[in-house]
């Protein structure tokens, strides 16, 4: 991998990790489209999952006192059930089709979040569908966050519980994704080098993001979540239409 590609990966990771540390999600949503400007899309996905596995695990451990463990267990099981299907899509469906579908779904979810759509706590059917879809998206696009973000915001989780629970689910899901990528031969030497080089930038961005959290109240947090979802949906559609 060339030096300019490595430097670009470092920059992408720094931006995505800062956003994730504030919002609790968004690493893959931001890093994959940016990395794909200089890397093959499938390489961008693998590098993103490699770095995200470190980022989410670090945050899951740091914030573990806020984690809602029943939600973690339920959605993690469902996410794993969807991952093999996502890997099939990763191998057989065009990148443009995947991005277009992701963008459309994210924008619909964003509108519902802005309109404060509520899912009752006892409506477990949403968990089954959205947990499964998050697993499919994890191994097909490295962006498993939107279904889970929509589900948790629609149940009015506070910011600390939202971040901790999401990152714990992501951490568990990324282990499965990496095993599938490795087992199917999608992981290579350049992917690993790119991820390793970016780890110092990841650590710095997470430190800055955690320091900034005290300035983010619940209202600002909700605005940040909706804005990040909107940006990611638009960027996915633009990428699908222009590449």
pLDDT digits (tens, 9 = 90+) for 183-208: 878 788 889 999 999 999 999 999 99
For residues 170 and 144, is the Cβ–Cβ distance under 8 A? yes
Could you tell me which residues come within 8 angstroms of residue 79 by beta carbon, excluding any fewer than 6 positions away?
Answer: 131, 132, 134, 135, 138, 144, 169, 172, 173, 176
pLDDT, mean of residues 26-34: 81
Separation between Cα atoms, residue 85 and residue 228, nearest integer Å: 26
Alpha-carbon distance of 216 to 214, in angstroms, equals 6
Q: How far apart are CA 234 and CA 232, in angstroms?
A: 6
Separation CA 101–CA 183 (nearest Å):
26
What is the tally of helices (H) and strands (E) in the chain? 10, 0
Rounded to whole angstroms, the Cα distance separating 105 from 111 reads 10
Q: What digits encode the pLDDT tens for the residues 16-25? A: 999 889 888 8
Over residues 121-168, the pLDDT tens digits come to 777 788 889 999 988 887 887 677 788 888 888 887 888 999 999 999
Q: pTM of whole model > 0.85? A: no
Cα–Cα nearest to 151, from 142, 140, 162: 162
Buried b / exposed e over 146-176, threshold 16 CB at 10 Å, is bbbbbbbbbbebebbbbbbbbbbbbbbbbeb
| Residue 196 in tokens | 């390793």
Q: How many CB atoms lie within 10 A of CB 25?
A: 28
**Contact predicate 105/229, CB 8 Å:** no
Is the pLDDT confidence value at 243 over 70?
Answer: no
Would you call 23 helix, strand, or coil by DSSP? helix
Q: Would you say 24 and 162 are in contact if contact means Cβ atoms under 8 Å apart?
A: yes
Determine the Cα–Cα distance for residues 80 and 132; give it in Å rounded to an integer: 8
């Amino acid at each position: 991998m060339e030096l300019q590609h490595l430097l670009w990966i470092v920059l992408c990771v720094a931006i995505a990790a800062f956003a994730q540390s504030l919002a609790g999600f968004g690493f893959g949503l931001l890093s994959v489209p940016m990395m794909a400007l200089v890397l093959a899309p499938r390489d961008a996905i693998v590098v993103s999952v490699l770095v995200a596995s470190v980022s989410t695990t670090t945050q899951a451990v740091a914030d573990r006192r806020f984690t809602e463990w029943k939600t973690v267990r339920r959605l993690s099981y469902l996410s794993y059930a969807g991952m093999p299907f996502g890997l099939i899509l990763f191998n057989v469906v065009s990148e443009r089709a995947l991005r277009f579908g992701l963008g459309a779904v994210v924008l619909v979810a964003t509108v519902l979040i802005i309109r404060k759509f509520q899912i009752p706590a006892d409506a477990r059917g949403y968990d089954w569908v959205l947990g499964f879809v998050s697993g499919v998206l994890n191994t097909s696009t490295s962006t498993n966050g939107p279904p889970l973000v929509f589900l948790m915001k629609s149940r009015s989780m506070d910011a600390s519980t939202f971040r901790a629970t999401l990152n714990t689910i992501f951490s568990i899901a990324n282990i499965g994704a990496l095993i599938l990528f490795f087992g199917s031969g999608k992981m290579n030497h350049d992917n690993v080098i790119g991820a390793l080089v970016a780890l110092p930038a990841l650590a710095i961005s997470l430190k800055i993001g955690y320091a900034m959290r005290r300035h983010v109240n619940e209202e600002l947090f909700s605005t940040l979540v909706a804005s990040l979802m909107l940006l990611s949906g638009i960027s996915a559609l633009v990428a699908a239409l222009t590449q």
